[in-house]
Structure 1
Amino acid sequence: MAKVTGLEGVVAGETDIGLVDGEKGYLVYRGYWAKELAVSKSYEEVAYLLWNRRLPEAEELVLLKQEMAAARTIPEYLKQMIDLLPPSIPMMLVLQSAVAALGDKDNATWPPTLKQAIRLTSVLPTIIAYRYRKVNNLPEVEPLAELGHAANYLYMLTGSIPEEAHVQALSAYQILCMEHGMNASTFASRVVLSTESDICAAVCGAIGAMKGPLHGGAPSEVISMLEEIGTMDRAEPWIRKVLENRGKIMGFGHRIYKTKDPRAEALMIATEAMIGKDPSFDLAIHVEHTAIRLLEEYKPGRRLFTNVEFYAAAILKALQLDPDIFTPTFTAGRIVGWTSHILEQAESNRIFRPQSVYTGPMPETEAETV
Structure 2
Amino acid sequence: MADDLKKGLEGVLVAESQLSSIDGDAGRLIYRGYSIEDLAEGASYEEVLYLLWHGQLPDAGELESFTDAMVAERAVDDAILEAVRSLAEADETPMAALRTATSMLSAMESESDVDAEDAEASLRKGRRITAKIPTVLAAFERFRQGEEPVAPDPDLGHAANFLYMFTGEEPDDVAAETFDQALILHADHGLNASTFTAMVIGSTMADVYSSLTGGIGALSGPLHGGANQDVMEVLFEIEESHLDPRDWVEQATDEGRRIPGFGHRVYNVKDPRAKILQRRSEELAETGDDTWYEITTTIEDYLTEEKGLVEKGIAPNVDFYSGSVYYQLGIPIDTYTPIFAMSRAGGWIAHVLEYQRDNRLIRPRARYTGPEDQTFVPLEER
TM above 0.5, yes or no, is yes
Pair 1:297 & 2:306 matched: yes
Aligned to 1:260: 270
1:281-305 deviation per Cα after TM superposition (whole angstroms, max 9, x unaligned): x223322332233222234633543
Secondary structure at 1:329's aligned position in 2? helix
Aligned to 1:152: 161
Pair 1:106 & 2:106 matched: no
Unaligned runs of 5+ residues in structure 1 are 366-370
Pair 1:14 & 2:16 matched: yes
The alignment covers a number of residue pairs equal to: 363
* 1:22–1:256 Cα contact (<8 Å) kept: yes
Distance 1:321 1:186, change over 3 A: same
1:107 CA drift (Å): 4.0
* 2:282–2:293 Cα contact (<8 Å) kept: no
Pair 1:31 & 2:39 matched: no
Query: d(CA) in 2 for partners of 1:17 and 1:302?
Result: 29
Secondary structure at 2:21's aligned position in 1? strand
Aligned to 2:337: 327
Equivalent of residue 53 in structure 2, options 48, 51, 59: 51
1:19-68 deviation per Cα after TM superposition (whole angstroms, max 9, x unaligned): 12212212110001113211221110111110111100011111111111
Report percent identity of matched pairs.
Answer: 36
1:188 CA drift (Å): 0.9
Equivalent of residue 131 in structure 1, options 136, 140, 164: 140
Q: Which amino acid aligns with 1:269?
A: R
Aligned to 1:309: 319
Query: d(CA) in 2 for partners of 1:79 and 1:135?
Result: 12
Query: d(CA) in 1 for partners of 2:254 and 2:364?
Result: 45
Distance 1:252 1:55, change over 3 A: same
* 1:108–1:199 Cα contact (<8 Å) kept: no
Where in structure 2 are the equivalents of 1:70-149 lying within 5 Å?
70-85=72-87, 86-103=89-106, 104=109, 106-107=111-112, 109=114, 110-111=116-117, 112=119, 113-149=122-158
Q: Which amino acid aligns with 2:111?
A: D
Decide which moves more: 282-291 or 200-209. Answer: 282-291
Equivalent of residue 214 in structure 1, options 213, 216, 223: 223
Decide which moves more: 248-257 or 9-18. Answer: 248-257
Where in structure 2 are the equivalents of 1:272-291 lying within 5 Å?
272-279=282-289, 282-291=290-299
1:180 CA drift (Å): 0.8
Query: d(CA) in 1 for partners of 2:111 and 2:252?
Result: 54
* 1:166–1:319 Cα contact (<8 Å) kept: yes
Equivalent of residue 179 in structure 1, options 188, 197, 210: 188
Unaligned runs of 5+ residues in structure 2 are 376-382
Pair 1:67 & 2:69 matched: yes
* 2:142–2:166 Cα contact (<8 Å) kept: yes
Query: d(CA) in 2 for partners of 1:192 and 1:2?
Result: 25
Distance 1:256 1:32, change over 3 A: same
1:52-89 deviation per Cα after TM superposition (whole angstroms, max 9, x unaligned): 11100011111111111111000122123323335222
Query: d(CA) in 2 for partners of 1:89 and 1:273?
Result: 34
Distance 1:59 1:284, change over 3 A: same
Secondary structure at 2:14's aligned position in 1? coil
* 2:19–2:351 Cα contact (<8 Å) kept: yes
Distance 1:236 1:78, change over 3 A: same
* 2:199–2:351 Cα contact (<8 Å) kept: yes
Secondary structure at 1:362's aligned position in 2? coil
Decide which moves more: 222-231 or 352-361. Answer: 222-231
Distance 1:102 1:139, change over 3 A: closer
Query: d(CA) in 1 for partners of 2:104 and 2:135?
Result: 15
Distance 1:108 1:257, change over 3 A: farther
Q: Which amino acid aligns with 1:316?
A: Y
1:135 CA drift (Å): 1.9
| Superposed CA RMSD | 2.1
Pair 1:205 & 2:210 matched: no
* 1:288–1:306 Cα contact (<8 Å) kept: no
Aligned to 2:359: 349
* 1:260–1:305 Cα contact (<8 Å) kept: yes
TM-score by length of 1: 0.92
Distance 1:225 1:106, change over 3 A: same
Q: Which amino acid aligns with 1:73?
A: A
Decide which moves more: 242-251 or 92-101. Answer: 242-251
Secondary structure at 2:287's aligned position in 1? coil
Decide which moves more: 108-117 or 256-265. Answer: 108-117
1:246 CA drift (Å): 5.5
Q: Which amino acid aligns with 1:225?
A: V
Secondary structure at 1:144's aligned position in 2? coil
Query: d(CA) in 1 for partners of 2:61 and 2:351?
Result: 25
1:105 CA drift (Å): 5.4
* 1:36–1:266 Cα contact (<8 Å) kept: no
Q: Which amino acid aligns with 2:244?
A: R
